[in-house]
Amino acid sequence: MARRTKSGNEYRFKVNLKAAKRVWRLIAMRGDQTLDDLHEAIFRAFDRFDPHLYSFYLPRGPRRRPTLGPEPKEYAAPFMFKEPDPFGTGRRFNAARTRLDGLAFKVGQQFEYLFDYGDSWWHEVRVDHIGPVVSGMRYPEIVEKHGQSPAQYESSEE
């Protein structure tokens, strides 16, 4: 297995809850990290405790613009690849194998993140900054937090 080289690129993502846009996190990632690493950072940043399946959709999902633009690619949790895609769309990719540097992000670019297909925690993700890595910073890094994270489940008994 080839050894992964550290990237010199830093990406900062502003991640907000779609249902509560004032609740957002700014997360710094290194370019050699993956979308699965970004998922883990979002999981921690929003104080979640119970893991679930997730997907990133790049570009934003088609429900906002059903006839315009390209159909989004889905980057899903590695668990989703234990079995073949039942729909055979060919547009689902493994988030754990998708490095940030390989996605050719641009500042201002937006995409979506869905955590927990049952409870449907939808997030909007925006590329806020691209620059050189910061010496001494441990990536991923939660740079800013705004608003209190809602409870993962409505009832604490679940």
Asked if residue 77 is part of any domain, the answer here is yes
Asked if residue 1 is part of any domain, the answer here is no
Asked if residue 56 is part of any domain, the answer here is yes
Q: Which domain holds residue 84?
A: 16-146
Asked if residue 9 is part of any domain, the answer here is no
Task: Express each pLDDT in 106-155 by its tens digit.
Answer: 999 999 999 999 999 999 999 999 999 999 999 999 999 999 999 898 76
Number of domains the chain contains: 1
Asked if residue 2 is part of any domain, the answer here is no
pTM, full prediction: 0.86
CATH number of the domain within which 28 lies: 3.10.290.30
Asked if residue 155 is part of any domain, the answer here is no
Asked if residue 38 is part of any domain, the answer here is yes
Task: Express each pLDDT in 27-48 by its tens digit.
Answer: 999 999 999 999 999 999 999 9
Q: Write out the chain in H/E/C secondary structure.
A: CCCCCCCCEEEEEEEEECCEEEEEEEEEEECCCEHHHHHHHHHHHCCCCCCCCEEEEECCCCCCCCCCCCCCEEEECHHHHCCCCCCCCCCEEEHHHCEHHHHCCCCCCEEEEEECCCCCEEEEEEEEEEEECCCCCCCCEEEEEECCCCCCCCCCCC
Asked if residue 69 is part of any domain, the answer here is yes
